[in-house]
Structure 1
Amino acid sequence: MQQPDSPAQRNRETLAVEMKAASRVTIIGMVLDAFLGIIKVIGGTLFHSQALLVDGIHSFTDVVSDLVVLGVMKLSRQEPDDNHPYGHQRIETFGTLVLGSILIAVGAAVAWENTLRLIEGDINNVPEWPVLVAAAISVVSKEWIFRYTRHIGQAIRSDLIIANAWHSRTDAFSSVVVLISTAGAMLGFLWLDVLAAVAIAVIITHIGWKFTWDSVQELVDTGLSPDDTEMLKTIARDTDGVLNVHELRSRRMGHDILLDIHLVVRPEISVSEGHQIGMQVVIGMRKALENIRDINFHIDAEKDEDHFPETESLPSRAEVGRIIAEQLGEIPQRSRLRLHYLRNKLHLEIFLDEQDPGTIFTSENVRSHLDGYPWFGSVRIWVAGP
């Protein structure tokens, strides 16, 4: 019988498929960007269109961004290791930051140069009709590659691929601007060509700023929106066995979400029941948000931060056993002791396998011997039936 694949094996296979898809769409886009960049730079130079020339520079920035994407995707899709137990998705975030910075730099430089030309009035040449053809080819091609790249990015849950798709669409938008400005310049409004170059540069800068700002927010561990946070808290509170949620922290790593949550449950339940309640919360949250990668839940019998300062003074199980043995004698064999640390007090439950008349392990006797200890809260004695 064939053994089912382990989670690690499935994860490796998924990473391989995602990497292959990301590489394929990026290489296709890079070849297209290089082709369009050559056409537009040559066309803008030969047929007197500053807007088309700037649009060609924009296409070449797409080639650079595609190279960045290929390198970053290879690194970010590596499996988790000892030094990076949560994976390498932050490399993807950093790559998006670099891509955004490149766009800002290119857009700002081009906008400044053409703004000076517009102010100085250094506009003499009329664009020719091949500029319209080159711009039209660019619009159709870049809209197609945008839709294809975005589809792949959403399928493999990669913010970097999606960002690169939108970079491609800005090229399509800028080519539309070239079409309009060229038509206007050919009708006699020569300044429209230079103004369009400035507008394209502003578009490039705006998209770059958005990528950069989003990446910075992720790198500083910005959490989920208040609405999503409250939704997840409601899911947890509505889970059977959860009394309250007193802390929920979130952060993003690439497209994935990492959560830490503290769940308040009844103090008398077992460890295994508390864990089961936590797992039910995990299931509910994953149904609500599919891109949750990891949920670390902490089971609390109370809001522990309200009583943290004094918890160091509470004795451990070994210390309690030693004190009971000194004060009352050893707890009978096959009996057991359960400890409840609540409100900076220690509450005891002693489960006796059997009890003979006159035993010293009664609630009154235990209380009288332990009442002098500042950590003592209460005691309950349970005796097994015949």
Structure 2
Amino acid sequence: MEHTTPAPADRYANLDKEKQAASRVTVIGMVLDAILGLFKMVVGTLFHSHALVVDGIHSFTDVASDLMVLGVMRISRQAPDEDHPYGHQRIETFGTLLMGSLLIAVGAALAWENVQRLFTDDLTFTPGWPVLVVALLSVVGKEWIFRYTRKVGEEIRSDLIIANAWHSRTDAFSSGIVVLSTIGAMLGYLWLDTLAAVVVAGIIIHVGWSFGWSSMKELVDTGLSVEDTERLLAIASDIDGVRDVHELRSRRMGDDILLDVHLVVRPDVSVSEGHQVGMRVVGAMRKELGNIRDINFHIDAEDDESYHPTSALMPSRKIIQEAINQITPEAPTGNRMRLHYLKNKVHLELFLDGSEGDFDSAELRTQLSEFPWFGSLRVWQTAD
């Protein structure tokens, strides 16, 4: 028995609000990035600071990523449709991968250029004090937008918005490095400015790699961590009625988690009781990890990892009824026959009313034993 429990009905009710919140914080950050980037590049060029120019380019990569975020969030926050029954959040993941790739490319180009400059330039120009002022303003502005963007990203559970926030934080870090290198250059250590440009480029590469790698893992359906998987296994195993949990598979779509779990229950429980055991497992798992969206649970009567799964060639209820009727026509069948398919054998239970009298169950058992699929027979009879 297999059942899928989707997310609560209100899971997609706030998508429009989430898109609006993401767009608002992204536009604010984009305007700030454009202003800071322009000031950094102009002041860096006029007052001889390679580090500030590179930092300005870093700010303009923020503008590019902000534009991409706006487009991706508009698409990825759509509700599931016929073509995308699991939603569109993988588009957000792909957008994060593209942003990470962009950062790596920009950072590598800037690092190479400034490493060459470090060993070939005469380094005769000292950065002017406006470089220090603009860098300090950048630190303050980017730290503020980082905190604001991260807060919104956590509220709407968007890895892309959170990644964009950390992109802003790297700009604050790099501006801080420019502050220190400018002070050092003003004190006579001119090479510090170019070295700082290389360090800033390295930061850009590192952040790009972090975003790209995490997104790539999600796109290839990397599961939950070992710790989270063990927590969920322990929770399921503690539920009354669960004999074993022999398979738990997971994958992510954005911040959401999708689970497939196989639960072993007693083979003689009813279908509805087995389903209820599964629903208790679902509730406990969702209580432990609030971002679980869908749980597809499969109820097993035996551990089919330890034994060969029950063959699809085992006889159906209709075939078994016909075999019994040929042997003992008066034997009850239909709804008064319960079948248990275990270890590639069929174990039968027959239910008689007291008014039906006795029939030769021993003879039925003897003749059924000639069938290779027969496992056992139990007959239950109510009192008159």
TM-score, scaled to structure 2: 0.95
Aligned with 2:380 (options 365, 379, 382): 382
Q: Using the TM superposition, give the Cα deviation of residue 309 of structure 1 relative to its aligned residue in structure 2, in angstroms.
A: 5.4
Q: 1:7 to 1:261 in 2, by over 3 A?
A: closer
TM-score, scaled to structure 1: 0.95
Name 1:3's counterpart in structure 2.
none
Amino acid paired to 1:282: V
Alignment of 1:143-182 (within 5 A): 143-182=143-182
CA offset digits 1:34-92 (Å, max 9, x no partner): 11111101111111110000000000000000011111111111111122111111111
Q: Using the TM superposition, give the Cα deviation of residue 328 of structure 1 relative to its aligned residue in structure 2, in angstroms.
A: 1.9
Amino acid paired to 1:82: E
CA–CA separation in structure 2 for the residues paired with 1:358 and 1:195: 97
SS of residue in 1 equivalent to 2:380: strand
CA–CA separation in structure 2 for the residues paired with 1:22 and 1:204: 23
- 2:239 matches 1:239: yes
CA–CA separation in structure 1 for the residues paired with 2:134 and 2:119: 27
CA–CA separation in structure 2 for the residues paired with 1:217 and 1:183: 41
Worse overlay, 303-312 or 61-70: 303-312
CA offset digits 1:272-323 (Å, max 9, x no partner): 1111111111111111111111111111111123444551331111221222
CA–CA separation in structure 2 for the residues paired with 1:14 and 1:153: 14
Question: Gaps spanning 5+ residues in structure 1: where?
Answer: 1-5
Name 1:219's counterpart in structure 2.
219
CA offset digits 1:337-363 (Å, max 9, x no partner): 111011111000111234544524x2x
Worse overlay, 350-359 or 165-174: 350-359
CA–CA separation in structure 2 for the residues paired with 1:358 and 1:241: 35
Name 1:349's counterpart in structure 2.
349
Q: 1:142 to 1:381 in 2, by over 3 A?
A: same
Amino acid paired to 1:317: R
Q: 1:151 to 1:105 in 2, by over 3 A?
A: same
Q: How many residues align?
A: 378
Q: Using the TM superposition, give the Cα deviation of residue 260 of structure 1 relative to its aligned residue in structure 2, in angstroms.
A: 0.6
SS of residue in 1 equivalent to 2:305: helix
The higher relative CO (CA closer than 8 Å, separation ≥ 6) is in 2
Name 1:19's counterpart in structure 2.
19
Q: 1:57 to 1:333 in 2, by over 3 A?
A: closer
CA–CA separation in structure 2 for the residues paired with 1:122 and 1:328: 105
Name 1:371's counterpart in structure 2.
369
Alignment of 1:109-258 (within 5 A): 109-258=109-258
Q: Using the TM superposition, give the Cα deviation of residue 121 of structure 1 relative to its aligned residue in structure 2, in angstroms.
A: 3.3
Q: Using the TM superposition, give the Cα deviation of residue 104 of structure 1 relative to its aligned residue in structure 2, in angstroms.
A: 0.1
Worse overlay, 268-277 or 98-107: 268-277
Q: Using the TM superposition, give the Cα deviation of residue 335 of structure 1 relative to its aligned residue in structure 2, in angstroms.
A: 5.5
CA–CA separation in structure 1 for the residues paired with 2:332 and 2:271: 24
SS of residue in 2 equivalent to 1:298: strand
CA offset digits 1:73-115 (Å, max 9, x no partner): 1111111112211111111110000000000000000000000
CA–CA separation in structure 1 for the residues paired with 2:195 and 2:117: 9
CA–CA separation in structure 2 for the residues paired with 1:119 and 1:267: 75
CA–CA separation in structure 2 for the residues paired with 1:81 and 1:54: 44
Name 2:90's counterpart in structure 1.
90
SS of residue in 2 equivalent to 1:79: coil
Q: Using the TM superposition, give the Cα deviation of residue 160 of structure 1 relative to its aligned residue in structure 2, in angstroms.
A: 0.4
Name 1:359's counterpart in structure 2.
359
CA–CA separation in structure 1 for the residues paired with 2:358 and 2:181: 103
The Cα RMSD (Å) is: 1.6
Name 1:316's counterpart in structure 2.
316
CA–CA separation in structure 1 for the residues paired with 2:334 and 2:109: 81
CA–CA separation in structure 2 for the residues paired with 1:296 and 1:128: 63
- 2:101 matches 1:101: yes
SS of residue in 2 equivalent to 1:304: coil
> Do the aligned partners of 1:307 and 1:344 also contact (CA within 8 Å) in 2?
no
> Do the aligned partners of 1:324 and 1:330 also contact (CA within 8 Å) in 2?
no
Name 1:277's counterpart in structure 2.
277
> Do the aligned partners of 2:347 and 2:376 also contact (CA within 8 Å) in 1?
yes
Amino acid paired to 2:370: G
CA–CA separation in structure 2 for the residues paired with 1:225 and 1:29: 33
SS of residue in 1 equivalent to 2:267: coil
Alignment of 1:56-67 (within 5 A): 56-67=56-67
SS of residue in 1 equivalent to 2:338: strand
Q: Calculate percent identity across the aligned residue pairs.
A: 65
Name 2:3's counterpart in structure 1.
none
Q: Using the TM superposition, give the Cα deviation of residue 205 of structure 1 relative to its aligned residue in structure 2, in angstroms.
A: 0.2
> Do the aligned partners of 1:313 and 1:375 also contact (CA within 8 Å) in 2?
no
CA–CA separation in structure 2 for the residues paired with 1:330 and 1:184: 101
> Do the aligned partners of 1:26 and 1:66 also contact (CA within 8 Å) in 2?
yes
CA–CA separation in structure 2 for the residues paired with 1:73 and 1:353: 65
Worse overlay, 309-318 or 167-176: 309-318
Q: Using the TM superposition, give the Cα deviation of residue 120 of structure 1 relative to its aligned residue in structure 2, in angstroms.
A: 1.3
SS of residue in 1 equivalent to 2:311: helix
CA–CA separation in structure 1 for the residues paired with 2:305 and 2:328: 34
Name 1:32's counterpart in structure 2.
32
CA offset digits 1:185-221 (Å, max 9, x no partner): 1111111000000000000000000001101111111
CA–CA separation in structure 2 for the residues paired with 1:340 and 1:81: 39
